[in-house]
Structure 1
């Protein structure tokens, strides 16, 4: 029986826009991965998400005559955080930080900084998150808890990569991996190896990255960690796609897809299906790609993810166009365009207009093509600084 994985899973993927019909664009798949983040990355603890428990803590905080200590404040913040109540969680973490500093509890101070950094990152304030996490790492380095220090280094590495400092990211990842080996935390080591392998692949050191990812994949399979296994598979598959080893990439993506189906993880399944549909287009397997994309579309609709739904409609439009079914291509591009307009995504709206212009051109409606292309150009110019 495979483990259910971490309690918070974030999946990110891209659909190549606006046209997908040639192998050169397969390099875009190198950045496609399903990221199954672990609980400690957001703050080192697994907290129940029971709303009644949150209420009982909040009530206790109001009615108790004594001042809450740092640990209690952290627990209340954790309950809010795991329910995505970020605005409510942050004040408790900040109060915990002040309480730990007042009592000179260095471990508590560092733990609070990690929690604060996780909230700041989720709010999109990556630089502030880096400052918080770097402060936590500096404290953990002085303490005997090597595992906590390693986790802070891993988080610092992720933030460094997000800020574009890839040298600092690699250094932090390597330090974290060495410490995880020392403390024999194989789950955390695998997480770090996946991150470092992905970084090296993105930097063009594909063979070095693949070697590390193969080791991570083997370790994840041995522990039957489906999340890490699927994550490693998708990144390796993306690297193969960049090398135009499309058949091998397809085989690995299909393995990852089976894992997500077994776990009934619809969001991850939909993302991988979109990637497989794009690969099928590159391989000339248009019928297979359409079937795969239709299943992804149904999943996105069930999840009420309108942005992904629009991307998948655009993908289907391009697949139908490659198949030669221009009427279906037009229908799906028009549906994508309507959704992008509803979402006020002007860049993708322009992409859909370009797709429609291409279909008009293929139908011989040159005046419609010219007019539609003009609308796309106008939109793109309006987006320019």
Structure 2
């Protein structure tokens, strides 16, 4: 746990979930820059007005500004949990910071909006479209991110949806974006969610803006779908890191007697999976849809099959730690003789991790790029 020193006080902040020997901070230079800019412009004095924060990762902005009761929007269940945990660690009341998902925007107007620029341009576009009707002519919007992640295409979106846009000088490799709010920002039609037909099926796949591989089936999932198992022994199946739910949807088709649990830390992913499953099966099949951290909150020693295409990153941190957490928690969730099926790039060496954890690991299929592995709980 490290100390963030901001113009609004000093706060203990941790990444979430907390890990031993954590090497990464719970904030970046863009968070610091935004907080400094607010103070330099005296934007919260003498009267703070209503404040909205988008994409705060672990609470650097929300915790620092808790006294002004900002509302927070994020697509990340982990961000919500991290903000609440950091408020608690600083003995601050959680009710001072109302949290919203990326599909549950408040309806009122805001005087100050702080936005951490997301990695996905589609996500940014969706957020700016949803933000438009929440602004008035005198609303102040400050967006921030690391300079390497702010491109001409980023600025064009701000100009298209909010108004003329300028940027700050870089500080500690971070940069701020200042859109000037145009007159009469009425709601406009959004291109999201997007849709495509799942090849070889009758299913139309719905994808909210924050979902990976939004416009077509990615090549890893395409390979995985060709080798999904089918057996009467699979009564309870988890699509872990479900994204739009294509893997779980086809697992449901292959295993008509199974109940599917769709799990992801993205609210938009879980919503997409739910819409896709219900569109495919209607009231004929039931399933469970959960936004959480890996398998947190799901039953242990219950499931027959976990299907998993692990991500390479959590928030902006890249590494295999999230995959390893998924493997460990899958082992806990599976009943005896239950199976974990994993697809990954060949070079990642997942087979070594799975063999160490499960005591076994078999190759189901492979090609030049991907390998599908199966581990059985003994």
Query: Please, what TM-score do these two structures have when normalized by structure 1?
Result: 0.23
Which structure is higher in strand share?
2
Query: Please, what TM-score do these two structures have when normalized by structure 2?
Result: 0.23
